Structure 1
Amino acid sequence: MSARVRSVCAAAVALTLATAVAGPLAVATPQPPGESSAVRPDRPPETSATALLAQLQTLYRQTEEATEAYKTTEVELKRREAEEKKLSASLSKARAALAQSRDDAGRLAREQYQGSSQLSSYVRLLLARDPQSALDQRHVLDRAAGERQAAMTRLARGEQQAADLARASRQALDEQQALAKRQQQAKDDVERRLKEVEQLLAGLSAEQLAELTRLEQQGMDKAQQSLLASGVLSTTRAPSPEGDRALAYAVEQIGKPYVWGAEGPESYDCSGLTSQAWAHAGRPIPRTSQEQWAELPHIPLTALRPGDLVVYFPTATHVAMYLGGGLVVQAPRPGARVKVSPIAANPLLGAVRPDPAADPLPWYRPPKLPEGATEGMDTGYSAEAEPN
C-alpha cells in the first residue's frame, strides 16, 4: 500500500520541473454513500487544478487526523495494559493474603474448639496460685482474643479487597478489549484514507501531477514570504542543551521515509520524529502532535529557538521541529521523506517548548545538513486552493 503511494508521489517530485499544463483536470467528484471515491474512467468530471489540490490536501489532512486517532488510542491502550497488569499483580497478592487470613481464622477456630472441654478462663483465674499469676494468665487470654478478632478483621478486609480488585481487573480487561477494537478501527480508517490518496494520484497524468506540484510550491512560497516579511522570525536564538541534542537527532534522520504510526529508527511519522528526538535528548514528551500541543508550554513564534516544536492545522494534527532561519525538520506525509522545509509549509497553529525552564547555550553552531536535505515534496498549503 504505502509503496505505491511513495512511488506515485516520487513521480510528482520528478515532474516538478515539467511544463505546467493549463486547462481543467479530470478528477473524482464526491460519490454517493457506499461508493468508492476513486477516479472512475466512466465518470470523468472536470475541475480546476486548484480544486484538485484542495481535494488532495484535504485527504492528506484527514489521513493525519485518522493517524492521530490511531496513535492516541495506541498510547491509551498501552497505559491500560500496564494498569491491568498492576491490578492482576495486586489481585494475586490480595488472594494470597486472603488465603493466609482464612488459614489463621481456621487455626484459631480449631484451637477454640479443642479447648472447649477444658476449664473456663474464669475458673482458671480462680484457681491461679497467686494474684500475679492470675493477671498474667488474663493478659494471655486477652491477647489470644485480640488475635482472633484481628484475624477475623483481616479476613473480612481481605475478602472485600479481593472482590474489589477482581471487579477492577474485569473492568480494565473490558476497557482494554474496547480500546483494541477502537485501535483497529482507527488503523482501518488510516488505510482507507491512504487508499483514497493513492487512487486519486494514480488517476492523474504526469502533466497533472506536475501542475499540482507547481501550485503547491507556489502556495507554500507565498505563505513563507509573508511570514518572513512580518518579522516574527527576525531574531536568531540559541537552543538549550537538550534542544540542541534533539535537533541533532532529528537532522540525523533526514532522508528516512514517512510511515504513518512509525517512531523509528528506520521510518517516522511527524510526531514520531519529534517525540523520539526529544526522548534521545533525555526529555520524554507526549507521543502525538495533539498531545504535544495540549500538554507542552506554548510560546509565541517571536520566541522560537531551535529544538522548539511547531504545530500545524486547527486540530494540531501535524508537528515539526524548528531548525532556525525560518526552517523546520519534519516528516511531511506518506510518500515523502524526513527533510528540511520552510516553516510555512503548512498552516501554522502555534509553537511549544518541551524545556521552557532551560537556559540557551552560550554559543551555538547549527547542525550540518546532509546533501539534499531540502529536496523532495513538502506538505505545503495554498490559501488559494481552499474551496470557496
Structure 2
Amino acid sequence: MSGRLLRTVATAVLATTFAAVPAAADPVTEKPTVSELLTDLQTLYRQAAAAGETYNATEVQLKTQRTETARLGRELAKARNALADSHGDAGRLAREQYQGRSELSSYLRLLLARDPQHALDEDHLMERAAADRLATMSRLANGAQRAATLAAASRKALDREQTLATRQRQARDTAAARLKDVEKMLASLSPDEIAELAALEASGTAEAQEKLMASGVLGGERTPTEQGERALTYAAGQIGKPYVWGAEGPESYDCSGLTSQAWADAGLEIPRTSQEQWAELPKVPLRSLRPGDLVIYFPEATHVAIYLGDGMVIQAPRPGTSVKVSPIAANPLLGAVRPDPEGEPLPAYTPPPLPEGATAGQDTGYSESEAPEEADATSDR
C-alpha cells in the first residue's frame, strides 16, 4: 500500500478512535487528491488481480499434480506387491536348495545314476531349472529397482504438490489482503469522494477510448469464426452476473474464468488464466482484431476481455461489478490473442443480442470488494 493510502486509512482510524477526546489543535494532514486516490485503488486492484491469476494458474497445476501423485502411488503399491512376491519366490528357491529338494538336486542324482544316457536325455530339464532361477532373481532385482525408482518419484511428486499448495495459499492470502486494503480505503472515503473517483475513472476511460478509435489502430471491422461467434454468444449470456474472485461460472466469473468458459462452450479448451492465455495463444496485432479474439491488459497480463466488435469488449471487470460490455480502452492495453487462428471467418456477422443495461455500471468496481474466501474450501485439498 502506498504512503498516501496508509495516511488516508490511518487518519480515518484515528478520527474514529479519538473523536470524544478534546484536541488542543487540529493536526495538519496531507489530504491525497482524487487522482492520487484513483491511482492507489487501481494499484490495489491490479495487485489483487495478479495474485488471483497466480492462484488460478496454481489451481490448474495442483489438480494435474494431484492426479500424477495418485497415479504414482498406485504404481508404487503394485511394484511393492510384485517385489514381495519375488522375495517369496526367492525364499522358496533357497529353502528347496538347502533341503536338497530343488530340481537341480534331482538332476545331479540322474547324472550319477547307472544310466548316463537317460540323464543326458533329461538335460533340457536342467536348462529349464537354471532359467527359472535366473528369471526369479531377475524379477527380484528389477522389481527392487522399479520400486526404488517409483518411491523416489512419488516423494518428488508429493513435494511438488505441497509446494503448489503453499503457493496457492500465498496467492489467495495476497489477493485477500489487497482487497481488504481496498475495503479499508473505501470505508475512509465519503460518498462524494467515491462519486468523484467513479467520475474520474469514467472520464479517463472515455478519453482513452476516443484517442484509440481516432488513431485507427483497430483497423476495419471483421467477422468472427463460427467458434468465435459461439464464444461471444456465451459471453453475452453471462452479462449481469457478478464478478467473484477465482470463479469460472456458471453463476459468477472472474475475468479469465469468463473468457476460458466462453471458448470452452464454443468447443475449444484454452488456458485458464489471462497470463497463460497471453503466453500460449497466438498473438494478433490490434489492427487485425476480430470478434471473439481476447484482449489482454496491463504489462503483467493480469486482465482479459473478449472482443465484441466496434471497439467494445465483454468482460468481468473487478470485484463489486458484474459482467458487462465496456470500451476496449477501459484498461491499459497490452495486446490481443486469437484462440482459433486457423478458423475461417464467417461471411457475415451480427453481434449477439445484449440485455438492457449491458453497458451500465463501473468498469472498475468501487462499491464493494469481495475477498477470495471461496478459495478456502479448495486450497488445502
Q: Same fold (TM over 0.5)?
A: yes
Does 1:358 find its partner at 2:343? yes
Q: Which residue of 1 aligns with 2:40?
A: 55
Does 1:290 find its partner at 2:279? no
1:124 aligns with one of 100, 110, 127: 110
- The DSSP-based 3-state class of the residue aligned with 1:310 is strand
Q: Which residue of 1 aligns with 2:210?
A: 225
The Cα shift of 1:111 comes to: 3.6
User: For the residues of structure 1 that align with 2:80 and 2:10, how far apart are their CA atoms?
Assistant: 56
RMSD in angstroms over aligned alpha carbons? Answer: 2.5
User: For the residues of structure 1 that align with 2:327 and 2:281, how far apart are their CA atoms?
Assistant: 23
* Contact kept in structure 1, 2:9 and 2:184, CA below 8 Å: no
* Contact kept in structure 2, 1:38 and 1:200, CA below 8 Å: no
User: For the residues of structure 1 that align with 2:111 and 2:160, how far apart are their CA atoms?
Assistant: 61
* Contact kept in structure 2, 1:297 and 1:356, CA below 8 Å: yes
- The DSSP-based 3-state class of the residue aligned with 2:296 is strand
* Contact kept in structure 2, 1:239 and 1:364, CA below 8 Å: yes
User: For the residues of structure 2 that align with 1:274 and 1:248, how far apart are their CA atoms?
Assistant: 12
Q: What are the superposed Cα offsets for residues 117-160 of structure 1, whole Å, 9 maximum, x if unpaired?
A: 985635524648685x5555222211221121111111111112
The Cα shift of 1:339 comes to: 0.4
The Cα shift of 1:366 comes to: 1.6
* Contact kept in structure 2, 1:259 and 1:268, CA below 8 Å: yes
Does 1:262 find its partner at 2:247? yes
- The DSSP-based 3-state class of the residue aligned with 1:40 is helix
User: For the residues of structure 1 that align with 2:56 and 2:105, how far apart are their CA atoms?
Assistant: 73
* Contact kept in structure 1, 2:243 and 2:318, CA below 8 Å: yes
The residue type paired with residue 251 of structure 2 is E
User: For the residues of structure 2 that align with 1:345 and 1:37, how far apart are their CA atoms?
Assistant: 31
Does 1:140 find its partner at 2:115? no
Q: What are the superposed Cα offsets for residues 279-336 of structure 1, whole Å, 9 maximum, x if unpaired?
A: 1221111111111111111111111111111100000000011111111110000000
Of structures 1 and 2, the one scoring higher in RCO (CA 8 A, sep 6+) is 1
User: For the residues of structure 2 that align with 1:150 and 1:38, how far apart are their CA atoms?
Assistant: 81
The Cα shift of 1:37 comes to: 6.5
User: For the residues of structure 1 that align with 2:353 and 2:105, how far apart are their CA atoms?
Assistant: 94
The Cα shift of 1:38 comes to: 8.0
User: For the residues of structure 2 that align with 1:128 and 1:74, how far apart are their CA atoms?
Assistant: 77
* Contact kept in structure 2, 1:259 and 1:269, CA below 8 Å: yes
Classify 1:145/1:214 alpha carbon distance in 2 versus 1 (closer, same or farther; 3 Å): same
Q: What are the superposed Cα offsets for residues 248-282 of structure 1, whole Å, 9 maximum, x if unpaired?
A: 11111110000111111111100111111111221
Classify 1:138/1:363 alpha carbon distance in 2 versus 1 (closer, same or farther; 3 Å): farther
Flag as ranges the 4+ runs of structure 1 deviating above 6 A. Answer: 35-38
1:374 aligns with one of 351, 359, 376: 359
Between stretches 231-240 and 344-353, larger displacement belongs to 231-240
* Contact kept in structure 1, 2:107 and 2:119, CA below 8 Å: no
* Contact kept in structure 2, 1:66 and 1:190, CA below 8 Å: yes
TM-score by length of 1: 0.84
Q: What are the superposed Cα offsets for residues 44-77 of structure 1, whole Å, 9 maximum, x if unpaired?
A: 5312211111111111111111212222222222
Q: Which residue of 1 aligns with 2:4?
A: 29
- The DSSP-based 3-state class of the residue aligned with 2:240 is coil
Q: Which residue of 2 aligns with 1:40?
A: 13
User: For the residues of structure 2 that align with 1:57 and 1:279, how far apart are their CA atoms?
Assistant: 30
Classify 1:253/1:37 alpha carbon distance in 2 versus 1 (closer, same or farther; 3 Å): farther
Q: Which residue of 1 aligns with 2:150?
A: 165
* Contact kept in structure 1, 2:219 and 2:286, CA below 8 Å: no
User: For the residues of structure 1 that align with 2:41 and 2:142, how far apart are their CA atoms?
Assistant: 62
1:317 aligns with one of 287, 302, 309: 302
User: For the residues of structure 1 that align with 2:355 and 2:72, how far apart are their CA atoms?
Assistant: 49
